Structure 1
Amino acid sequence: MQRSMPLYRTIAQHIKSEIQAGNFIEGETIPTEKSLSEQFDASRVTVRQAIDLLVTEGMLHKVQGSGTYVKEQAKVEHNIYELVSFTEEMTNLDKQPENKILNFQMIQSDARIQRKLQLDSNAPVYYIRRQRFIDDIPYVVEDTYMPVHLFPDLTYQVMVTSKYDYIENQKGFQIKESFQEVLPILPDSEIAELLNTTEQQPILKVKSYSVLSDDIPFEYSEVYFKSDEYRFTVRARRP
């Protein structure tokens, strides 16, 4: 007969689920031991075991005489004023990125993509969807459109590595700037699954198009970031 989960682990899993759902906010206290004891009809010792387990896992931390708090998780800090690739960003943080290609195909552009990339009607573009990992954790899902006439030799292997390295060092183009719109959204079921999150967990969606030194657009992307792994920062200066 299969043994049931120990009660302290059930309590720990409940607290963890509440944190992941955003019901217990980072930096705020969780319910007291007395409250959790009453909620689960458990002894204070059992509740303390559950809390200690989550402290060990790095999800909670105790402050003597104050309470138990949801620990603020370390996030990748992305400065939106710096135009760097995901690979460059992770390498600068001494992390090893991994790209998984989910879709790589040549398609006929629709009106929306034609406007973004300043293309003629039905001009072909590459459509690439990449799932991007750090330490086997999915951080980003990226949908990218690139004009075929600029990159006739673009390959699957290029997109497994660094797109910007290919553009600058293989094609000899100079990247000038990117225009970005950052939106908090609730993911659909497909994006939620790819990011290993839920449809109830807000994520960040960035729409961007980037141009070369001659102001010719070379890509349009819609990128989905896990909000519990990524933090966007802006450095503003008073004029």
Structure 2
Amino acid sequence: MYDFMALDRPSTPLVDRGIALHKMIRLITMGLGGEGYLNFMGNEFGHPEWIDFPRGDQRLPNGKIIAGNNNSFDKCRRRFDLGDAVYLRYHGMQEFDRAMQHLEEIYGFMTSEHQYISRKNEGDRVIVFERGNLVFVFNFHWTKSYSDYRVGCLKPGKYKIVLDSDDPLFGGFKRLDQDAEYFSKEGWYDDRPRSFLVYTPSRTAVVYALVEDELEPAGGPRLILTNSM
């Protein structure tokens, strides 16, 4: 995505789709990829077009010449400055990556012994899983948003949103109430002893945590939604 990435220009459906899926893919990789998350080659967004080191023309044994790039350094770089540019949409993508790291720092879900995938609904395009005391809800559907969507959970209590890919800080559309509270209900659902209802907008990833896990001062984890860190 090269065009329409400046915040002072209207976005396009292509850009909106790309940014939304980029965030979801990163989070589901971090959430289900094991005990580590590698942010390296192929997982960053600092490539302007492609990586091409300076090289001259090359003559093959058969005499054919493979053209070089005139020893140009133009593509021999990564544009990490794009993420720091607050006037570009890349900045929101970088903020989301920081928020994921902050979420792991607070909750340590990647090393938790409790991991369970409770829903993989091909029709709804929804994936729900637990890691530690966090519940991850992904809606990959390109148009459908679901109200009162029931998701299973292990522990009883009140849940809150601690990470929302649709937050405006991350280039989202603010379709969720960050102050909403979600109360678990007894009864088996998706092979879980309890469940709660959520609103899951299309192409979003949302992480819910038990309120009992909230750190002091109150609202600490919400820093990932309001600060640049």
Q: Provide TM-score, normalisation by structure 2.
A: 0.23
Return the index of the structure with the highest Cα Rg.
1
